[in-house]
Amino acid sequence: MALETQYPITLLTKIAGVSRSAYYRYKNKPKPITIGIEELILFIYKKSGQRQGYRSITNSLRNHYRLIVNKKKVLRIMQENGIQSKIRNKRKPKAENATLKENILNRDFASDTPYKKLVTDITYIPTRRQMVYLCIIQDLFNNEPVAWTVSHQQDKSLSVETIKQLSQKCSLKDALIHSDQGVHYTNKAYVSLLEELSITQSMSRKGNCWDNACAESFFGHFKNETIHLMKQKPENLKEVVDMVQDYMVYYIHDRPQRKLGGLTPSLYKQQLNMV
C-alpha cells in the first residue's frame, strides 16, 4: 500500500493488470471478522458507553462490519448477557380521562351568525426568558379573535380560562366550537364547562391540521406580522401580552380581509348590523 503514496493509482493498476474499480473494491473490502457475533455485540455495546440498544447494535453490525444479523438474535444475546441500553425510553404521557369528539365542523368554515361557529387553538411564543403560550377563540362569522389568553404555563387552565372569558362577553348556548385533540380540549374540566354552557364540541381528526385551518392561518398571520418582524425575541411575558393586545386591535379594526370583501372584521359586522 506504500506505493500508492509514491505513484499514481492509474500507473500501478496498469502494471498490475487490474482495473481501477477492481483495486478500489479490494481496498474497501471489509476486513474479515475474527471474533464471534456475541463478542462483537459486547464490544459495540461497551464502545458506545452502554448507550446502544439492540436496534442500534444491529445497524452497527450491518454498517460497520457488513454483517446481517436478525435484531431478535441481537436482543437475545444482550438479554443472555444481562445488558441493555442505559438511555431511558421516552414515554408518551397518557391523557387522564380524555374525551374525544367527532369532527362535526368537517371543514365547513362558513357562518352567517356571530358566535355560532368558533374555532380555538394554542400556539407557543419563545421569549428571551421563557416560553409563552397563546390560546385564542376565533369567530368564523368574520374571522374575529373574540377571546384570548396569554400565559407562561401550558396547563389545562389555558383553554378553560379562554372559554370563561368569552362566556362573560356573550351567550354561547347552542354554539359549536372546534379544536384539535390536544389535552387542553379533551380534559374533564374543559369538556364539562362546554356542556354546562350548552356548547357543542367538535374535534379535528388525529394529526390533521387542515381540519382547523382557520386557527392555523390566524397564527401564521400573527407570527409573520409580529414576531418575524422583530430583530430579537420578546423579552418576557409582559412584552408578549402587550404585543398580542396591539395585534388583536390591529387585526380586528385595521386589517382588511379578502374573505370579508376587503373589510375588516369589525366593519364587516357593523355593515350587517351585527354590532
User: Domain containing 13: what range?
Assistant: 2-80
Question: Rounded CA gap, 15 and 11, in Å?
Answer: 6
Judged against a pLDDT cut of 70, whether residue 65 lies above it is answered with yes
Q: How far is CA 97 from the centre of its chain?
A: 23
Instruction: Tell me, yes or no, whether 99 lies in a domain.
Output: no
244 C-beta neighbours (distance < 10 Å), count:
21
Note whether residue 96 is domain-resident: no
Compute the mean pLDDT over every residue in the chain, rounded to the nearest whole number: 87
> How many separate domains does the chain show?
2
β-strands 131-139, 144-151 pairing: antiparallel
Using the 3D structure, point to which of 53, 80, 107 is the last residue of a domain. 80
| 148-157 confidence digits (pLDDT tens) | 999 998 888 9
Query: How far is Cα 68 from Cα 70, in angstroms, rounded to an integer?
Result: 7
Within a domain: 222: yes
Clarify whether residues 140 and 59 are in a common domain: no
Whether pLDDT at 115 is above 80: yes
Residue-level pLDDT at 4? 59
Q: Are residues 63 and 162 in the same domain?
A: no
What gap in Å lies between CA 135 and CA 215, rounded to an integer? 10
Instruction: Give the pLDDT confidence of 242-272 residue by residue, as tens digits.
Output: 999 999 999 999 999 999 999 999 999 998 7
Using pLDDT thresholds of 50, 70 and 90, give the confidence band for residue 34.
Answer: very low
pLDDT mean over 141-149: 97
Cα 157 from Cα 190, distance rounded (Å): 8
